[in-house]
Amino acid sequence: MLKIDSHQHFWKFDPVRDSWIDDSMAAIRRDFYPEDLEPILNKHNIDGCIAVQADQSEAETEFLLSFAENNDFIKGVVGWVNLMDPHVRERIAHYSSFKKLKGIRHVLQGEPDRAYMLNPQFMKGIAALKNYDLAYDILIFPDQLGYTNQFVKNVSGVRYVIDHIAKPDIKNGNIDKWENNMKIIAQHENVWCKISGMVTEADWHNWKISDFEPYLDVVFEAFGADRVMFGSDWPVCNVAGGYDKMISIVECYVSKLSADEQARFWGLNAIEFYKLD
């Protein structure tokens, strides 16, 4: 069974640029490079990964593409371009010439304007992805799900994936509003979902596997086994237990799925969505 980690990050730690990594996240206040990740992937028999942007700059896109060029296990990159730039099509065209660029992401969760994705210029930038067969990763908090549903309706024909199951409030068990919105957005067949990043939305030091089951039930019921994929969110997951504990949550949950569904979840869906070679 091919296994792909569809969501992880690399960075050279910069305390100013990476100010989101505060004192409570001391475990990740350092550099994380491919040589740090490769032995972890090998330990879990994971064949490759997708490196996702963490900084909003083209320098970040180039940083990740250089790693991908020199490390075969990095199968794809989700980079960043300024989707509000009137000349964004030219920038997308430029980066699309890199074989391992598979998608683009913007940190929508951090925008003061919660409906930022509905800006006409932003949507024009997203629409340009279609011409280059690139996907778009949707990074949001639950309060943005309603806007996101409108967004994917407005810009059709793009492959979308929701990162980190839209970061529900697992720590406090809040589920109802998030569940309703996820079921609505899952009705769009071009929207997929990453089972990733969940430990950081739980009680970092006291979570248990059962905390995640109701949320996983919702995602698998809404999207089906054909539109969900595994992602670690390494190294961010290190603040809440690390790779081994994080992967144990999903291993436990998907063990009840059929062999075909497990194969799709662990690798085939990511390969199909990101068009990996």
Which pLDDT score, from 0 to 100, does residue 139 have? Answer: 98
CA distance linking residue 103 with residue 7, whole number of Å: 12
Whole-structure pTM over 0.95, yes or no? yes
Per-residue pLDDT 10s for the chain (277 aa) are 899 999 999 999 999 999 999 999 999 999 999 999 999 999 999 999 999 999 999 999 999 999 999 999 999 999 999 999 999 999 999 999 999 999 999 999 999 999 999 999 999 999 999 999 999 999 999 999 999 999 999 999 999 999 999 999 999 999 999 999 999 999 999 999 999 989 999 999 999 999 999 999 999 999 999 999 999 999 999 999 999 999 999 999 999 999 999 999 999 999 999 999 8
Secondary-structure breakdown of the chain: helix, strand, coil percentages, each rounded to the nearest 5: 50, 15, 35
Number of residues that this document lists for the chain? 277
CA distance linking residue 196 with residue 215, whole number of Å: 12
Counts for the chain of helices (H) and strands (E), in that order: 10, 8
What is the token pair recorded at 8?
């992880």
Contact call for residues 61 and 81 (beta carbons, < 8 A):
yes
CA distance linking residue 271 with residue 277, whole number of Å: 8
